[in-house]
Chains A and B, each alone.
Chain A
Amino acid sequence: MMSPAAVLKRAAPVLACIGLLAVWQAAALVLKNDSFPTAVEAIRAIPDILGDKEALINILASLRRMAMGFGVAVLFSIPLGLLMGRSRAVAAFFNPLLMVIYPVPKAALMPIIMLWLGVGDITKTLVIFLGVSLPVIYHSFEGAKAVEEKMLWSGAAMGLSSLQRLVRIVLPAALPEILTGCRTGLVLALITMITSEMIARQSGAGNILFNALDMGQYDTVFAMIIIVGAMGICLDAIFERIRARLVRWSEPQFDMPLSFS
């Protein structure tokens, strides 16, 4: 049997959702605005979207681009961040570049990228890639920088070459920090995914959302917001599971209950 406190802890996120929906429902009933459907109306519209083949293809296309952009960004950013963290020359070269790119909203680059690469998958995937890369590079960099020198010396004494030390000592030692960056990156991937589809309307979950907005189908708009939100929660929960498994050995960190894990 779980203690009452444990039951409450488990139920808290669910209660929070129910609370949010209740506030929404009440607000919508009070305001009686056409562009603000009630929670019940929005939830009723969800099966219509998920039952529609066209809509599902759109959503899956979004997820494919997101997975692609996220995956490539992680594969590119982790080695770069680690190298920057261990080599002053590499850091000195890339840091100013990243500082320039960092504050620019990645979606703001879209019109230019669209001019070059069109409105297709490549442009949207590239924008997601840009959005994800920076936090992953930053956290990999910080993680690699913090690796204890003596740990690397111990490895060197065992005969590990500098490349082996990077892969077999710096990478695992920095992994908790790297995965923190990846988690931020995952949420950013979802955000940039929707924004990119808002700018380059052609397909995707964002396209459904903004088309519905144009046509005044507000229940569909809010249903899509719920669907995207649920996707974010699920992805984050899955990622958190994987993360916890990979870095079980590290110190327990204070963790905000962002996910349902």
Chain B
Amino acid sequence: MKVVPSRSSEWVSPVTSQKPASAIIEIDRVSQVFQTSARKDHLALSNISLTIDEGAFVSILGPSGCGKSTLLYIVGGFVSPTSGVAKIKGQAITGPGPDRGPVFQEFALFPWKTVLGNVMYGPRQQGVRASEAEAQSRALVEMVGLKGYENFYPKELSGGMKQRVALARTLAYHPEVLLMDEPFGALDAHTRTRLQNDLLNIWERDRKTVLFVTHSVDEAVFLSDKVVMMSKSPGRIRQVIDIDLPRPRRRNELLLDPRYQKYVVDIERMFDESDEVGTSS
């Protein structure tokens, strides 16, 4: 499994030739073992090493059960690795912090707070004055396309709208890294496409570092600068592929671009070869 198929060697990038970006996240030989039953251990992640450059949009792509979310949780500080270390800006990660903002598939909004209340929560916690936090949050709510819904409660919103609120809530406290855990996985295809477009528009404005977990090949190629392909049992990095497509990316242009199509087809083929992704979504 470690052998790189020769045909795809063109994707393997030895040290990137572009401007030398500085690493913001370093994952160094991280392994994660979960105890599934009294005597059985499950090796969820095996010896993962990965460096993420500041300002890069990196997707972690793999079949379900390959530990890709676990890897994200380790970077978030929500889960401690069994061995190895994850670092942000050279500092070992010991717990969650406002420098890393998560966006979950389950939205995880505070249901007792309105849209505005949810978005203001982080800034208020950081000690931003109420009036200032409100002004910033209103602007963010507008940016994610929810102007007019400020006083709605999460239960009154659709899934896509909830995820927009979750994104705004996380952006509100200015994390340096966005950790997105299959954020569009629970949405229907149409909503999903719209949110991908909107996420790209927002991201291309300020180019925050994004670590994006997904099992969708299209989504990973469309959004990312770099796709980390993982294989399962045990979860390990199979290959890292640079997506060399121009930005800003427009969906209607990109889908017709043969380079985009080649990335998608090649990645799908690589998964098919090991039969790890039956049908890619």
- Chain A residues with CB under 8 Å of chain B are 148, 150-151, 153-154, 156-160, 169, 172-173, 175, 247-251
Complex partner residue of A157 from B97, B106, B109, B153, CB under 8 angstroms? B97
Given contacts A156-B78, A158-B98, A249-B155, contact A151 B108 (CB under 8 A): yes
| A17 nearest CB across to chain B (Å) | 35
| Contact mask for chain B residues 98-109; partner A; CB cutoff 8 A; 1 contact, 0 none | 101110101011
| B101 nearest CB across to chain A (Å) | 6
User: Which residues of the partner chain A approach B65 to less than 8 Å between Cβ atoms?
Assistant: none
Given contacts A153-B78, A159-B97, A159-B98, contact A251 B155 (CB under 8 A): yes
Would you call B96 and A153 a contact (CB within 8 A)? yes
User: Which residues of the partner chain B approach A248 to less than 8 Å between Cβ atoms?
Assistant: 153
CA distance A154 to B125 in the complex (A): 12
Would you call B104 and A159 a contact (CB within 8 A)? no
B175 contacts partner chain A, Cβ-Cβ < 8 Å: yes
CA distance A148 to B78 in the complex (A): 14
B121 contacts partner chain A, Cβ-Cβ < 8 Å: yes
Given contacts A169-B110, A250-B155, contact A157 B102 (CB under 8 A): yes
Give residues 80-111 of B contacting A (CB, 8 Å).
95-98, 100-102, 104, 106, 108-111
Would you call B102 and A153 a contact (CB within 8 A)? yes
Number of A-B contacts (CB under 8 A): 64
Closest to B79 in A: A153
| B177 nearest CB across to chain A (Å) | 11
B263 contacts partner chain A, Cβ-Cβ < 8 Å: no
Closest to A153 in B: B78
User: Which residues of the partner chain B approach A249 to less than 8 Å between Cβ atoms?
Assistant: 111-113, 153-155
B13 contacts partner chain A, Cβ-Cβ < 8 Å: no
User: Which residues of the partner chain A approach B106 to less than 8 Å between Cβ atoms?
Assistant: 148, 150
User: Which residues of the partner chain A approach B111 to less than 8 Å between Cβ atoms?
Assistant: 173, 249-250
Complex partner residue of B104 from A150, A156, A160, A175, CB under 8 angstroms? A150
User: Which residues of the partner chain A approach B76 to less than 8 Å between Cβ atoms?
Assistant: 153, 157
Would you call A154 and B98 a contact (CB within 8 A)? no
* Number of B positions contacting A (CB below 8 A): 29
Would you call B110 and A157 a contact (CB within 8 A)? no
CA distance A140 to B246 in the complex (A): 54
B126 contacts partner chain A, Cβ-Cβ < 8 Å: yes
Closest to B73 in A: A153
User: Which residues of the partner chain B approach A154 to less than 8 Å between Cβ atoms?
Assistant: 102, 104, 108, 110, 169-170
| A153 nearest CB across to chain B (Å) | 5
User: Which residues of the partner chain A approach B153 to less than 8 Å between Cβ atoms?
Assistant: 248-249
Would you call B98 and A151 a contact (CB within 8 A)? no
Closest to B95 in A: A156
B173 contacts partner chain A, Cβ-Cβ < 8 Å: yes
Closest to A251 in B: B155
CA distance A200 to B100 in the complex (A): 61
| A242 nearest CB across to chain B (Å) | 15
CA distance A250 to B76 in the complex (A): 29
Would you call A157 and B98 a contact (CB within 8 A)? yes
CA distance A248 to B101 in the complex (A): 29
> Most chain-B CB neighbours within 10 Å: which of A159, A173, A247, A248?
A159
B122 contacts partner chain A, Cβ-Cβ < 8 Å: yes
Given contacts A249-B153, A249-B155, A250-B155, contact A157 B96 (CB under 8 A): yes
Would you call A151 and B125 a contact (CB within 8 A)? no
| B130 nearest CB across to chain A (Å) | 16
Would you call B155 and A158 a contact (CB within 8 A)? no
User: Which residues of the partner chain A approach B101 to less than 8 Å between Cβ atoms?
Assistant: 157
| A243 nearest CB across to chain B (Å) | 14
Would you call B104 and A172 a contact (CB within 8 A)? no
User: Which residues of the partner chain B approach A160 to less than 8 Å between Cβ atoms?
Assistant: 125
Closest to A160 in B: B125
Would you call B108 and A153 a contact (CB within 8 A)? yes
| B93 nearest CB across to chain A (Å) | 12
> Most chain-B CB neighbours within 10 Å: which of A148, A150, A160, A173?
A150
Known: A153-B104, A156-B96, A158-B98. 8 other contacts (CB 8 A): A153-B108, A154-B104, A157-B101, A247-B112, A249-B112, A249-B154, A250-B112, A250-B155
User: Which residues of the partner chain A approach B125 to less than 8 Å between Cβ atoms?
Assistant: 158-160
| Contact mask for chain B residues 143-157; partner A; CB cutoff 8 A; 1 contact, 0 none | 000000000011100
User: Which residues of the partner chain A approach B78 to less than 8 Å between Cβ atoms?
Assistant: 153, 156
Would you call A172 and B112 a contact (CB within 8 A)? yes
| B50 nearest CB across to chain A (Å) | 21
